[in-house]
Amino acid sequence: MVSILPALLCLELSLGQKTHVQAGTLPRPTIGAEPGSVIPMRSSVTIWCQGTLEAQEYHLYNEETDIPLGRQKPLVPGDKVKFFMEDVYPGRFCCKYFSPTGWSELSDPLELVVTGFHGKPSLSALPSPVVTSGGNVTLQCGSGEELDRFTLIKEGERRLSWTLDSQPHTSGQSQVLFPVGPMTSSHRGTFRCYGYFRKYPLEWSHPSDPLDLLVSGASNAINPSQNKSDPRTSSPQDHTMENLIRLGLAGLMLMGFEALLFQALNSDGRTQDETET
């Protein structure tokens, strides 16, 4: 999704505004967004920028202008600086920092995507969202609007995405088919899709409803130690059997005790009779 335009613009800003260091170029800073780079419309976002320990001031730019959107000084050397945007808007942003030796390289462009510009697309799994391990599934994303492209996103710690051009449909709708497989346990997860027009690649639709993809028969190796029963997780039937065994043993012990007592009493009686005789 990163186009050549923001990179060229950032390069132009860098050449036109920074002081060059002949002995070597300062490393470019890193740039990111919190809570992420895909944000719902009318939400807030924080763009952060971080450079070297020598950074004294940071400037934030949008690709559409060479005038800084903001300036921030780090409170502690090496800290990130944060630029808060209360009402998010889509765009490509880059930042740079000033140090005692001059201006740094500009960061790589950050694409800030805003969702909610179009209606919610539908997302379904063909033939089923429950797929056998090693099998294949097709995720179909479609919209009643004639959108040009669709992006499929798998949620998680390391978010993955796929983008495809839409396919013509006889009903005037637009849709794409995302083939997934052969299936492994790594494919299991929650998916959403978005649609947008190619002319406005950062203005996405509302997200589809979530689709949970399940993988049946995936290899889930069990350690030998896991085969041992855990008394904390045993079934009620197991507890009943254990109680019956305990009661049986108690009964046998009681019968044995009674037999010993009876034998002792008889022995004392015979001894007393012999004494009297």
* pLDDT of residue 249 exceeding 80: no
* pLDDT of residue 20 exceeding 60: no
Q: Where does the pLDDT of residue 192 fall: very low under 50, low under 70, confident under 90, or very high at 90 and above?
A: very high
DSSP state letter for 218 = -
DSSP state letter for 115 = E
88-137 pLDDT, tens digit each: 999 999 999 999 999 999 999 999 999 999 999 999 999 999 999 999 99
pTM beyond 0.85: the answer is no
Q: Where does the pLDDT of residue 156 fall: very low under 50, low under 70, confident under 90, or very high at 90 and above?
A: confident
What mean pLDDT value characterizes the chain? 79
Out of 10-14, 35-39, 158-162, give the one with best mean pLDDT.
35-39
Question: Each residue of 164-188: b (16+ CB within 10 Å) or e?
Answer: eebeeeeeebbbbebebeebeeebb
The pLDDT value recorded for residue 159 is 74
**223 Ramachandran zone, left/alpha/beta (phi>0; psi -120 to 50):** beta
* pLDDT of residue 15 exceeding 70: no
3-state secondary structure of 5: helix
162-190 pLDDT, tens digit each: 999 998 666 778 999 999 989 998 889 99
Structure-block tokens of residue 110: 């950050």
Q: What is the mean pLDDT of residues 66-87?
A: 93
Of 146, 140, 105, whose CA–CA distance to 125 is shortest?
Answer: 140
Of 205, 23, 189, whose CA–CA distance to 116 is shortest?
Answer: 205
The pLDDT value recorded for residue 6 is 47
* pLDDT of residue 154 exceeding 80: yes
Q: Where does the pLDDT of residue 28 fall: very low under 50, low under 70, confident under 90, or very high at 90 and above?
A: very high
* pLDDT of residue 157 exceeding 80: no
